């Protein structure tokens, strides 16, 4: 797989700009050449001299600067890189990118590029949650822009919440995972299905059995397999998060429906079962609402089909690679290894869900288990887990 060798880093004006100095050093540790554009407001937070000294390259800032243009024109700057990283990205640059405004060098380069763009937002929590920001982000995701973060935590302005720029190590890891796989499309001749989200088993017209799964990890996997070229179908239970852009989407409610669709989609090369399937279903769903009687009731439940096990153990049309998850609250490795054998899948990504951890969060901490490999992955965003898994899948098929 080709490696990213050149990054164009756009530093916009936010207090988190100081973190971009460390980011330049860590990217250079990876033998990545970093060229920077420092916006006018960015230069209020870090100086061109620091950026130039750390990157070892000329710092560009002004669209109408003759010296800059003669060194390297803005079109060339946007094309002669493997990747553009906007870190920190303010609400303002996100808005300009969404609407295609070009009123300075940074926004003009972003319009002129044909390269992958990654945005690392950093802003006040209220600005992040503002509907305008969220709208702009959805537009950019549709346009193929990737995002890292933001993280939750204390802010420079004294508030707490989502909006902090992701940690340097996480940004570097995400970039290494991404590499040029997006451009190479190493999975372009393969097909994939991904199950995600919870399933919902109706008790009566207004009540159901379900669980806390947000669908984030499965959606990120479907997006990343699609981005790497796989013909991808996402089979999803009910969730409240934006759907990935690109994969074919099939929405289901129950485990039975999820199984039916999964089996219909076979044969595929890759199956990733990330759904938190309800283990039990109600034997007879009531057509009318169950009334209170003053006494307790008991529900007649039976076990749902195990989708992962069914497809792993098929005699015909078994996907070449079947990946499952293991949500454990104790004895993580031992239980996950037992699950790998019992279900017959090839890989298991195990996570510790004790005390409600992982469900709905943006980060995940994975233990990767196969018959001959056991790895503990660092805590990273669900997007980074998805890219790391997709790269492993790509290596598996190219081997
Ligand atoms: N899974 C599935 N169908 C089910 C139950 C689970 O496909 N009916 C898949 C999940 O998508 C996941 C893996 O099996 O990839 C493990 O799910 P998990 O909830 O950890 O385990 P269970 O099989 O439900 O076992 P237990 O609840 O006893 O831990």
Domains of the chain: 6-177 (3.40.50.1950), 191-398 (3.40.50.10300)
Q: Is the CB of 327 under 6 A from ligand 1?
A: yes
Q: Residue 366: name the closest of 322, 395, 326, 337 by CA.
A: 326
Q: How many angstroms separate the alpha carbon of residue 220 from the centre of ligand 1?
A: 19
Return the structure tokens found at 237. 């239970």
Going by the DSSP 8-state scheme, the letter that residue 24 receives in this structure is: H
Give the lowest-confidence range in 142-156, 158-172, 217-231: 142-156
pLDDT band per the 50, 70, 90 thresholds, residue 181: low
Q: How many helices (H) and strands (E) does the chain have?
A: 15, 22
The closest-lying atom of ligand 1 relative to the alpha carbon of residue 343 is 14
Q: What is the pLDDT of residue 174?
A: 86
pLDDT band per the 50, 70, 90 thresholds, residue 69: low
pLDDT average, residue stretch 214-221: 95
Q: What is the pLDDT of residue 1?
A: 43
Distances (CA, A) of 136 to 3, 129, 139, 145: 30, 11, 5, 11
Specify the residue with its C-alpha closest to ligand 1, atom 23.
306
Q: Is the CB of 277 under 6 A from ligand 1?
A: yes
The closest-lying atom of ligand 1 relative to the alpha carbon of residue 326 is 20
* 342-370 per-position pLDDT tens digit: 999 999 999 988 877 667 777 889 999 99
Q: What is the pLDDT of residue 200?
A: 97
Tell me, rounded to whole angstroms, the distance of Cα 381 from its chain centroid.
Answer: 7
Return the structure tokens found at 300. 């007649």
pLDDT average, residue stretch 21-35: 95
Q: What is the pLDDT of residue 381?
A: 82
Q: Is the CB of 170 under 6 A from ligand 1?
A: no
Question: How many percent of the chain have pLDDT more than 70?
Answer: 95
pLDDT average, residue stretch 105-134: 94
Q: Residue 161: name the closest of 127, 118, 212 by CA.
A: 127
Q: Is the CB of 337 under 6 A from ligand 1?
A: no
Q: What is the pLDDT of residue 90?
A: 97
Specify the residue with its C-alpha closest to ligand 1, atom 3.
306
Q: Is the CB of 324 under 6 A from ligand 1?
A: yes
Q: What is the pLDDT of residue 311?
A: 98
* 302-319 per-position pLDDT tens digit: 999 999 999 999 999 999
Specify the residue with its C-alpha closest to ligand 1, atom 28.
279
What is the rounded CA–CA span in Å between residue 235 and residue 239?
11
pLDDT at 29 > cutoff 90: yes
Q: How many angstroms separate the alpha carbon of residue 274 from the centre of ligand 1?
A: 9
Average pLDDT, the chain: 92
pLDDT band per the 50, 70, 90 thresholds, residue 161: confident
pLDDT band per the 50, 70, 90 thresholds, residue 179: low
Q: Is the CB of 340 under 6 A from ligand 1?
A: no
| Residue numbers annotated as active site | 157
**Could you tell me which residues come within 8 angstroms of residue 244 by beta carbon, excluding any fewer than 6 positions away?**
219, 220, 222, 223, 226, 234
Please, how many CA atoms are within 13 Å of residue 41, restricted to the half-sphere of its CB?
Answer: 13
Q: Is the CB of 255 under 6 A from ligand 1?
A: yes
Q: How many angstroms separate the alpha carbon of residue 279 from the centre of ligand 1?
A: 7
Neighbours of 171 (CB within 10 A): 25
């Amino acid at each position: 797989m080709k490696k990213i060798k050149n990054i164009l880093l756009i530093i916009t004006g936010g207090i988190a700009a100081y973190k971009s100095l460390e980011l330049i050093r860590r990217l250079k540790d990876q033998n990545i050449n970093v060229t920077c554009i420092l916006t006018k407001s960015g230069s209020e937070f870090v100086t061109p001299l620091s950026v130039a000294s750390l990157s070892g390259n000329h710092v560009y800032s002004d669209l109408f600067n003759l010296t800059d243009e003669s060194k390297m024109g803005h079109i060339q700057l946007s094309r002669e890189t493997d990747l553009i990283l906007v870190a920190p990205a303010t609400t303002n640059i996100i808005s300009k990118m969404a609407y295609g405004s070009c009123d300075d060098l940074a926004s003009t380069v972003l319009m002129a590029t044909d390269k992958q763009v990654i945005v690392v937002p950093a802003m006040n929590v209220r600005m992040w949650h503002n509907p305008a920001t969220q709208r702009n982000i959805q537009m950019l995701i549709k346009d193929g822009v990737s995002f890292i973060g933001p993280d939750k935590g204390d802010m420079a302005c004294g508030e707490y919440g989502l909006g902090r720029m992701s940690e340097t190590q996480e940004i570097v890891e995400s970039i290494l995972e991404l590499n040029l796989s997006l451009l190479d499309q190493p999975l372009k001749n393969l097909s994939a299905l991904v199950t995600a989200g919870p399933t919902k088993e109706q008790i009566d017209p207004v009540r159901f059995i379900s669980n806390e799964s947000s669908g984030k990890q499965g959606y990120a996997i479907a997006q990343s397999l699609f981005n790497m070229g796989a013909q991808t179908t996402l089979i999803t239970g009910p969730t409240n998060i934006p759907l990935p852009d690109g994969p074919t989407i099939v929405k289901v409610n129950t485990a039975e429906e999820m199984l039916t669709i999964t089996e219909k989609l076979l044969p595929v090369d890759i199956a990733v079962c990330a759904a938190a399937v309800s283990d039990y279903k109600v034997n007879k769903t009531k057509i009318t609402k169950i009334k209170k009687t003053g006494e307790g009731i008991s529900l007649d439940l039976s076990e749902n089909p195990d989708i992962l096990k069914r497809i792993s153990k098929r005699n015909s049309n078994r996907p070449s690679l079947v990946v499952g998850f293991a949500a454990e609250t104790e004895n993580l490795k031992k239980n996950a290894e037992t699950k790998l054998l019992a279900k017959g899948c090839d890989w298991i990504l195990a996570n510790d869900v004790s005390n409600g951890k992982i469900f709905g969060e943006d980060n995940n901490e994975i233990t990767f288990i196969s018959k001959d490999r056991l790895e503990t992955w660092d805590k990273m965003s669900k997007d980074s887990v998805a890219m790391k898994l997709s790269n492993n899948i790509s290596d598996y098929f190219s081997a």
